Structure 1
């Protein structure tokens, strides 16, 4: 059995007996306990940080709280966070008009270069940065949001007040690494795997409403779907 695998197995057993916020033994102590080099322990700890099992706190390491699990369904981030006992929040990064690129224009049924509203926000859970969301909406239809909408609140709730009911969406999930800008906004490193979600939502009249491109920290959040035959 490779040493790294044995160390990881032993660390899993240690973490199973600890609770959220409990300190993890130091690299030195673990290296002595497992009779391996500190670099072997260090790599195993890095893997656990990436997975969200542990997190750095000061000069030590503690057990992380469980990941927030978001359902893959047509609901707002706010609704999903509240359903899991978390306090949602948003930080506005930018909100302005931009010309639609070819892909966005096609999904929204617009001409290339036609103006769209671009809303970019950092998503929070209990004050912790876990996601970066970019929403694109047809400007001609939703210009009124500039006068009526608070961007730190749920966009879907605001759309409902305008009489817009979302009916269906197409969503794609991929794994990516953060750019330096994205890492700075999410307060993580560029080596941390992110989950990228791309969604196009349609209302009950069959009209495209939004294109959303979201990045989520893989160490803070997971997604699940209920499947039926």
Structure 2
């Protein structure tokens, strides 16, 4: 006799993805009372469909999915919307396709370039602005720089295989790299440039949080303002303990995850 299936808000029973898969949420998001919203049942079915289609596969239209699962198009729309926010689906033109795996970036003193190359992707950057200004009080308090001393501000869009995946703002004292505007290729690694100048990293403090992009940031990265972002603040020092850089890195939450090695 087959095992009874979980009722789902008076909808027909559904089969759920393997709840014990490594990294899967406990009970695949099903609450203890065993009832879930209708859209979530549809989301589980679409998630199973993604495994069949594979990366780059085009999912059926909202109308087709609604007919297949016998639900309203708005129910399908909500399910697809969540899968897009999670990075499992991507909008492409007028269609929606299965996304590839997220880029995994280590929380370490490695550059963005190194992290992306290790995953077989081609890193790149598009220059937004490179200017200089007197160091303001908040930046001086954070970094230990002197208030009023000249500071470079380097802002670039981060690319992976020509896809816009983030936005990076770097602040560094002009005295450390006086020819940054003349010698530095904005599409290259800033850390590589510093190494060529004989500057080595010693240590850094990082803080990670989730945010929503501002309208300007969303426009530069090419994402909807409602897309969750991962924001990393970093303050770096050289091997002598002197302040080196202050970096604000904004990454698409649907395209990035981060790893860290911990040792007791």
- With normalisation by structure 2, the TM-score equals 0.84
Contact 1:194 1:216 in 2 (8 A): yes
Q: Which position in structure 2 is the counterpart of 1:5?
A: 40
Matched, 1:165 2:181: no
**Which structure 2 residue ranges, 5 or more long, are not aligned?**
1-34
Matched, 1:127 2:183: no
1:206 positional shift: 0.7
Contact 1:107 1:208 in 2 (8 A): no
1:102 positional shift: 2.5
Matched, 1:138 2:138: no
Q: Which whole-Å CA distance do the structure 2 matches of 1:101 and 1:222 have between them? A: 32
Q: Which has the higher strand share?
A: 1
State the structure with more CA Rg.
2
Q: Which whole-Å CA distance do the structure 2 matches of 1:89 and 1:72 have between them? A: 19
**Which structure 1 residue ranges, 5 or more long, are not aligned?**
none
Q: Which position in structure 2 is the counterpart of 1:211?
A: 246
Contact 1:129 1:187 in 2 (8 A): yes
1:162 positional shift: 1.0
Contact 1:92 1:121 in 2 (8 A): yes
Q: Which whole-Å CA distance do the structure 2 matches of 1:100 and 1:194 have between them? A: 27
Q: Which has the higher helix share?
A: 1
Contact 1:69 1:222 in 2 (8 A): yes
- With normalisation by structure 1, the TM-score equals 0.96
Q: Which whole-Å CA distance do the structure 2 matches of 1:162 and 1:182 have between them? A: 31
Report the 3-state secondary structure (helix = DSSP H, G, I; strand = E; otherwise coil) of the residue aligned with 2:53: coil
Contact 2:158 2:164 in 1 (8 A): yes
Contact 2:89 2:97 in 1 (8 A): yes
Q: Which position in structure 1 is the counterpart of 2:261?
A: 226
Contact 2:145 2:243 in 1 (8 A): no
